[in-house]
Amino acid sequence: MKIRLGVIFGGKSVEHEVSIITAIQAINKIDLVKYEVVPIYITKDGRWYTGKMLLDIDIYSDIDLLKRYAKEVVLYNRDGKFLLQKKTGLFKSVVAEIDMVLPIMHGTNGEDGTLQGYLETIGIPYAESSVYASVVGQDKIFMKQILKESNVNVVKYRWFFDTDYMNNADKIVRDIERLGYPVIVKPATLGSSVGISVCHDELELREGIQDAIKYDTKILVEEMITNLREVNISVLGNYEHQELSVIEEVGTSHELLTYEDKYIGGGKGSKLNNQGMASAKRIIPAKLDKEVEEDVRNMAIKAFRALNSSGVTRIDFLIDTKENQVYVNEINSIPGSLSFYLWEKTSKPYPELIEDMINLGIVNYKNKKAKTSTFSTNILEGFSGSKGLKGIKGLKK
């Protein structure tokens, strides 16, 4: 009997379109002998849809047409069965039953633990990182604080809330300038290089902060490595076991890797391509000294375990070529294109990668089910406190 696999993608995120690309790529590589794929698309306004037409990437160029022919649904647990039920119409019939979820959502409201929290609440098994690992992986400030405590190298940084800056911008600017220019300004919880600025002086710094504030309440400012090489590696596994892909070196004509470098062929003004991260300029495998390569590989596993990550991730590194120092830049708990291009170069075909992700999700679900999450006793049973009874009577009035 086939496993009914719900693939959730899209969402209320600036990385919405990137998620669609990654999901369609993955769906086309899933073993249809073992799995029945149920696409579940979340629009930018948070509405859930399913239907076979969602498998055609061209349908997303006309969202009104999509909404007209796809079925709007809700996902819920009924007596241990996970059902997609029509949300509208006279007869709100069950459209599909699913056994497990493969979340392929990037950025806020999907990769950040929000979706995982809902899946945990209804009790359905899912692949990729848990709520906690997703939260700390998406929030670059949480991530750096945990990695620093775990003796994993990160660059020097400052962070603040948007209201802190609005109330005392000059003080924050002076504090940041202690890092020395240039610096990089980032929204704390976004990905895909959205809202990021390289700042060489105070004017650019203030402009960069104002831009980042458009996207997030928490702002991160990092020391910029000027003698820089950027390399990435993918880690697959959970806290018990980890596999490493080959290392890639990513290239850009800009001072840092941009959204256009990652997802848009031909630079600004070109259309979003359907290759996702696989289209970026890269050298695979990266040509690194043995010592530096070993540092990257060891630090990748250390960071993965420190954040309690699971499934397939991509960890991005900064290498200071002058000091020969390696730093973890960030972890992507649901990386663009699921980093399949790195695993293909590691002799793991895309269908096998997806199979491993699903199996890890099942293992994690079983491990969690084996732990005690509730107590059989009810501490409120027989409760007869006079104050409590008076309060209940008051609520009834």
Tell whether 356 is covered by a domain.
Answer: yes
Between 151 and 394, the higher pLDDT residue: 151
Q: Is the dihedral of CA 365, 366, 367, 371 positive or negative?
A: positive
Write down the pTM of the prediction: 0.88
- Which of 44, 52, 38, 63 has the alpha carbon at shortest distance from 124? 38
- Which of 33, 35, 72 has the alpha carbon at shortest distance from 50? 72
302 contacts: CB under 8 Å, gap ≥ 6: 150, 151, 152
Contact between residue 153 and residue 326 where contact means Cβ atoms under 8 Å apart: yes
Query: What value does the mean pLDDT take over residues 260-264?
Result: 49
Range of the domain at 213: 157-223
E strands, 163-273, where? Answer: 183-187, 197-199, 218-223, 228-237, 242-250
Q: Determine the 3-state secondary structure of 261 from DSSP.
A: helix
> What confidence score (pLDDT) does residue 373 get?
76
Query: What CATH number corresponds to the domain at position 167?
Result: 3.30.1490.20
Tell whether 321 is covered by a domain.
Answer: yes
Do residue 55 and residue 104 come from a single domain?
Answer: yes
Say what percent of the chain tops pLDDT 70.
Answer: 87
Query: What CATH number corresponds to the domain at position 105?
Result: 3.40.50.20
- Angle CA(308)–CA(311)–CA(315) in degrees, nearest 5? 70
Tell whether 20 is covered by a domain.
Answer: yes
Query: What CATH number corresponds to the domain at position 264?
Result: 3.30.470.20
> What confidence score (pLDDT) does residue 268 get?
43
> What confidence score (pLDDT) does residue 248 get?
98
Tell whether 308 is covered by a domain.
Answer: yes
**pLDDT(210) > 80:** yes
> What confidence score (pLDDT) does residue 259 get?
43
Number of domains in the chain: 3
Tell whether 132 is covered by a domain.
Answer: no
Query: What value does the mean pLDDT take over residues 316-320?
Result: 97
> Per-residue confidence at 56, pLDDT binned at 50, 70, 90?
very high
**pLDDT(397) > 60:** no
Among residues 192, 223, 254, which one ends one of the domains? 223
Question: Mean pLDDT, the chain, as a whole number?
Answer: 90
> Per-residue confidence at 371, pLDDT binned at 50, 70, 90?
confident
> What confidence score (pLDDT) does residue 266 get?
45
> Per-residue confidence at 94, pLDDT binned at 50, 70, 90?
very high
Among residues 223, 249, 277, which one ends one of the domains? 223
> Per-residue confidence at 32, pLDDT binned at 50, 70, 90?
very high
